[in-house]
Structure formats: structure tokens, C-alpha cells
């Protein structure tokens, strides 16, 4: 019987992706929304487990920034995620952890170094951490810039970069991962 994943439930067969920024109210919820949109468009919902998190807990329990939600909605993308900080189990639970900027990546790796001594975590979980823009094909930027203190064009720029990165991220997973290929 084909497996289904209607509620974004993690299964042994799902490929799991965690998007991470600072506050988990602008960039990573938008990345989660854009990636979820593309996955759904290709009817691959049952194969993926998708989430986002922040490196700080300041906005924990709150919805995404209304400016980010409005900009995404303008492109047909719903952002529904609730902010949460990254946690030790993320290094076990996710196949890929995508940092929006270099500071995020450094903070994620520092958290891993702290946690790996008191939790049972995969020794090589640091290899799961990549920069989001490393997947960009149409843009030269190396980081997704923080739009929080800027104007509306900053939120559009974030979405431009995320659409580019998410498209090739999905392409690369579909091309390389046996869980997607074999089912």
C-alpha cells in the first residue's frame, strides 16, 4: 500500500528537511512554505517531512511576521508555521538542515558541538548543515539576507532567492534519494 503523509508526519521513509534562520518568523518559515508548495505541486507530500526553526527562542510560539506572510501569499504560498528554536533531536530527525545565512550556520554548528556531548546524536550530523543559497542556480548571492529591519523589497528578495533554491533543492533530492526514486 502506498504510504501517505497528509499531515506532514515523519516516517522512516520520508526525506526530512529543516529550514533554519535567526528568529524563525521570516526567512525559514518562508522557505518551509515555498518548499512545501513545490512538493505539493509535484504530488510528493507523502515523501517529505518539512519543518523550520530559529537559532534563538525569542519568538517561540508566535506566527510568522505578517509582512513575510503577506509577501508569500502574493505568490500563492501560505505560511502557517509557529516559531520554535532548534533542538538537539533535530540533528537526529532531519536529513538536511538548511541555514539561511553564514551566522545561522555557525550558530547551528555551535549548538551541535554543545549538544553532542550530552545527547546521543549522530557523530557526523554537522554534515547535514548546508547554506540555503548553495542550491541557488539563478542568483549569485551566498546568503538569504535578513529582511526584518528593512522595507517590503527585502521580503520579495527573500522569496526570489528561496524560490530559486527550493526548486533546485527539490530537483537534487528527487534525483539522488532512493526513498523518492524507489517508491
Q: How far is the CB of 48 from ligand 4NP (least distance, A)?
A: 22
SS3 labels along 109-160: HHHHHHHCCCCCCCCCHHHHEEEHHHHCCCCCCCCCCCCCCCCHHHHHHHHH
Q: Which CB sits closer to ligand 4NP, 100 or 173?
A: 100
Q: How far is the CB of 23 from ligand 4NP (least distance, A)?
A: 3
Task: Look up 26 and say whether it is catalytic.
Answer: no
Interface with ligand 4NP by CB under 6 A: which residues?
Answer: 21-27, 58, 146, 148
Cα–Cα distance measured from residue 98 to residue 105, given in angstroms and rounded to the nearest whole number: 8
Measured in degrees and rounded to the nearest 5, phi and psi for residue 5 equal: -140, 55
Q: How far is the CB of 153 from ligand 4NP (least distance, A)?
A: 15
Q: Which residue in 69, 146, 164, 166 is the catalytic one?
A: 146
- Three-state SS for 10? coil
Residue nearest to ligand 4NP (CB): 23
Task: Look up 146 and say whether it is catalytic.
Answer: yes
Q: Which CB sits closer to ligand 4NP, 85 or 88?
A: 85
Task: Look up 136 and say whether it is catalytic.
Answer: no
Q: Which CB sits closer to ligand 4NP, 73 or 92?
A: 73
Beta-carbon neighbour count of residue 31 at 10 Å?
31
Chain-centre distance of CA 177, in angstroms? 17
Q: Which residue in 26, 27, 101, 133 is the catalytic one?
A: 27
Q: Which CB sits closer to ligand 4NP, 58 or 122?
A: 58
Q: Give the residue numbers marked as catalytic.
A: 21, 27, 146
Amino acid at each position: 500500500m502506498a504510504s501517505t503523509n497528509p499531515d506532514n508526519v515523519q516516517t522512516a521513509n520520508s526525506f526530512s528537511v529543516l529550514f533554519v534562520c535567526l528568529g524563525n518568523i521570516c526567512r525559514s518559515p518562508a522557505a518551509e512554505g515555498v518548499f512545501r508548495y513545490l512538493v505539493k505541486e509535484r504530488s510528493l507530500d507523502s515523501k517529505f517531512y518539512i519543518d523550520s526553526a530559529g537559532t534563538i527562542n525569542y519568538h517561540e510560539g508566535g506566527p510568522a511576521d505578517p509582512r513575510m506572510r503577506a509577501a508569500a501569499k502574493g505568490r500563492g504560498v501560505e505560511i502557517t508555521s509557529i516559531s520554535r528554536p532548534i533542538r538537539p533531536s533535530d540533528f537526529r530527525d532531519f536529513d538536511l538542515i538548511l541555514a539561511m545565512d553564514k551566522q545561522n550556520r555557525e550558530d547551528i554548528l555551535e549548538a551541535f558541538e554543545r549538544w553532542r556531548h550530552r545527547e546521543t546524536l549522530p557523530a557526523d550530523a554537522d554534515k547535514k548543515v548546508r547554506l540555503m543559497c548553495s542550491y541557488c542556480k539563478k542568483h549569485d548571492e551566498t546568503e538569504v539576507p535578513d529582511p526584518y529591519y528593512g522595507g517590503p523589497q527585502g521580503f520579495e528578495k527573500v522569496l526570489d532567492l528561496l524560490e530559486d533554491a527550493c526548486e533546485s533543492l527539490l530537483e537534487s533530492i528527487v534525483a539522488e534519494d532512493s526513498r523518492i526514486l524507489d517508491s
